[in-house]
Amino acid sequence: MNGLDAFDKVSLGVFPTPIHRLHNISRLLGAQIDIKRDDLTGLGLGGNKVRKLEYLMAQAKAQGAQVVFTTGGAQSNHAMLTAAAARRLGMTPILILKKRGVTARQGNQLLEHLMGVDVRFMDTDSYADIYAEMDRVGAELGVPYYKIPCGGSNALGTLGYVDCVREIAQQGQYDHIVVAEGSGGTMAGVALGAKLFMPGARVHGMMVDTDPFEQITVDLMRGAAALLGAQVSVSADDFTLRDMCGPGYAIPSEEGNAAVAMMAQQEGLFLDPVYTGKAFAGLAAMAREGAFAPQERVLFIHTGGAGGLFAVGV
């Protein structure tokens, strides 16, 4: 195994992020529920993409990139954080976003405006069109450029959450880890990380979109395991998935909004309507179904999303 430490990282965040008990919600749901505060990763408004970007931006830097492209929806937290990372490292971010969702100067669009980012919208549902446009723009600029896929979810970005589970294992032992799944890299990293560093933990992905996540997760886990040279056999038995998408990606759901309100009212913490609210609603549903035994410890990874909260609302 090459191990995680064989891969270059740039320092963008503040780690380790804290873990603490959700006392009121634990009492309410009759389970021991802790929260991993990856909403406090320390760049921009925080969020899970910072861990992936520490690996991806190291590769961009090593390749001498002057321009960094990425994509997502109009309120992509990932796109905003990629722009913030590029600014920090003195590279020029160019965001080519799907013209889907709230394009007004609110939420992440406001933050990108403040960072002076070149944001372009493409009226397409195909990321292939967008990656082709990145190559066209990059060639036109004539400078070395680096393309980061939607959500930073490739094998290299997935290492960020393998690393996160290594960090969690230093902070406590868990029987269940629950996380949102949007483009897959976070969940895949957590599932592979659990295999390597916390084999007793069961990993539950809460799907907030309608993509074929079982295959996506297994593929990303295998890609990351291959990078690490880890001798593990990966399959869909390594995790469970639950459909929490509701009316559609980036469209708030009743259950998700109830979870956002519960977290705010019980704990004074803010989830977002697109990812973490829906994911926590899934955790609450599992608790009510009796999926967590009283002595078991449950960890929810708060993956951020504050920008979206102010644009999408609940």
Ligand X SMILES: *Cc1c(COP(=O)(O)O)cnc(C)c1O
For residue 256, state whether it binds ligand X (rule: CB under 6 A): no
User: Minimum distance from CB of 143 to ligand X (Å)?
Assistant: 28
Q: Considering only residues 59-78, where is the footprint of ligand X by CB under 6 A?
A: 77-78
d(CA 160, CA 54): 7
By C-beta, is 70 or 77 nearer to ligand X?
77
253: annotated active-site residue: no
Q: Considering only residues 32-51, where is the footprint of ligand X by CB under 6 A?
A: 47-48
| Residue bearing tokens 């291959």 | 226
Select from 13, 44, 73, 184 the one that contacts ligand X (CB under 6 A).
Answer: 184
Torsion angles phi and psi, residue 63, rounded to 5: -85, 0
Torsion angles phi and psi, residue 94, rounded to 5: -125, 120
For residue 305, state whether it binds ligand X (rule: CB under 6 A): yes
By C-beta, is 138 or 277 nearer to ligand X?
277
For residue 187, state whether it binds ligand X (rule: CB under 6 A): yes
Q: Considering only residues 130-149, where is the footprint of ligand X by CB under 6 A?
A: none
Fill in the amino acid letter for 61.
Answer: K
For residue 183, state whether it binds ligand X (rule: CB under 6 A): yes
For residue 107, state whether it binds ligand X (rule: CB under 6 A): no
Conformational region of residue 54, where left means phi above 0, alpha means psi within -120 to 50, and beta covers everything else: alpha
For residue 275, state whether it binds ligand X (rule: CB under 6 A): yes
Backbone CA torsion sign across 127, 129, 135, 141: negative
Of the ranges 1-9, 24-32, 175-183, 261-269, which one interacts with ligand X (CB under 6 A)?
175-183
Of the ranges 5-13, 116-124, 185-193, 280-288, which one interacts with ligand X (CB under 6 A)?
185-193
For residue 276, state whether it binds ligand X (rule: CB under 6 A): yes
Interaction site with ligand X (CB under 6 A): 47-48, 77-78, 151, 153, 180-187, 272, 275-276, 303-305
Q: Please identify every residue annotated as catalytic.
A: 76
